[in-house]
Structure 1
């Protein structure tokens, strides 16, 4: 079987869980779904965020890739030995699902893309720690989100990042420096040992990394899903992710045929 025969493999998109009025909801922003469908050329399926799920192996068996999106909440400090900040919104149900899925995908060599909150989850999943507040830790204010701004203003390009020579992003774009729409409150404190830095902001904060050994396992701190139609690097990122998911689907289909 060839990659051309796998047109649109299933890719899991991890949901957030939150309360709206009296309703307990699982949701994912349409911008991620749109980018996966129009650019990665895959079929997204939503994975609920709930601690009621005892085993996530069935989800891993059923998809050919995973996307860990951004979200309003932050990774709970207890997950990485940090200090509780009562002002921060958390989503322990998403933590439960996302961290286990990410470790499972890493062990299987399954492609995954982690964005913003997903980027932070990636560091925690593989043994790293986070700053609960990067501004308080001495990093520049241009990383932070202003909820009083309208969405187009909020997701504008905020600062440059320097791409590491020999990295996946540098090879993908052919660039050494690009501008990104990064907005976040948490950030990397101690990098997880299996991760390799792909990009840094001018103030030294890590903005992207990869998990070596996987065909595609990349975390980015910014929001390429918002600019996928207008920004070359964003489009290349989603296209490369989709291509890797198709290769993985072919490999899994070949294994099943041999069995």
Structure 2
């Protein structure tokens, strides 16, 4: 049996969003997320919306050394946490839901490294049995976490508030204790935290800003802010991405079985 090829970059699945552009449907993923996976030292593998059937997931997961869940303008459909749509004007992406929700559960079961941002953070909570506030700004005691309207990206993705990193967790191990300044561009947020999730950081109003998955055998970190924005110049973002990249390399080297790319049986 051949050894694992440690020279190849770890392959990271990046599920896409679905968008109608003119008369044609498109699969879309932001360049900043692809760049973030590359900064982690990994090879992004873009996963189109082919649904969450077991055989489809098996095919994708057979390639994977990690999973990276992006943010998106769309929200998780509230039917997945037994609520009706609160604001029909907000975008939804049921095709992405159909792929990512079962993919998350399978990835966690397999021990695949998982890094999730914004929508990915929210869909991980929903996939594992939690629920969301559909309008955080309307909840008593919670602030408005949405981006300032009508501003260019440099302003919208600027630092908006501090988060408190809770002691004893994965995030503290990566960033150290205390507070970290983050951006804030979300209208939804964690309501009921899914069983088995560990809160890693909170906003000043107490809203969950980061969690890890306690039962997961592999690396897991889900954050509500956008560390992918100008990540190369942000030490906090780079610390998170590099930790994810190390976990993906460890999975490639220690967990994944050696792959046979060519048949060598003389009878074939």
Q: TM-score range by the shorter chain?
A: over 0.9
| Aligned twin of 1:68 | 69
Change (3 A) 1:246 1:36: same
Distance across 2 between alignment mates of 1:137 and 1:189: 10
Mapping 1:92-107, distance limit 5 Å: 92-107=94-109
2:52 touches 2:100 (CA, 8 Å); kept in 1? Answer: no
Secondary structure, aligned partner of 1:135: helix
| Aligned twin of 1:244 | 247
Shift of 1:73: 0.2
Number of aligned residue pairs? 255
| Aligned twin of 1:217 | 220
1:35-70 deviation per Cα after TM superposition (whole angstroms, max 9, x unaligned): 111x21110010012438563111111111010000
Deviates more, 1:44-53 or 1:111-120: 44-53
Change (3 A) 1:195 1:244: same
Deviates more, 1:207-216 or 1:183-192: 207-216
Structure 2: where are the runs of 5+ without partners? 261-268
TM-score, normalised relative to structure 2: 0.90
1:3 touches 1:246 (CA, 8 Å); kept in 2? Answer: no
| Aligned twin of 2:158 | 156
Residue 51 in structure 1 maps to residue 51 in structure 2: yes
1:6 touches 1:246 (CA, 8 Å); kept in 2? Answer: no
Residue 189 in structure 1 maps to residue 197 in structure 2: no
**RMSD after superposition:** 1.9
Change (3 A) 1:179 1:41: same
Structure 1: where are the runs of 5+ without partners? none
Secondary structure, aligned partner of 1:57: helix
Shift of 1:145: 2.0
Higher Cα Rg, which structure: 2
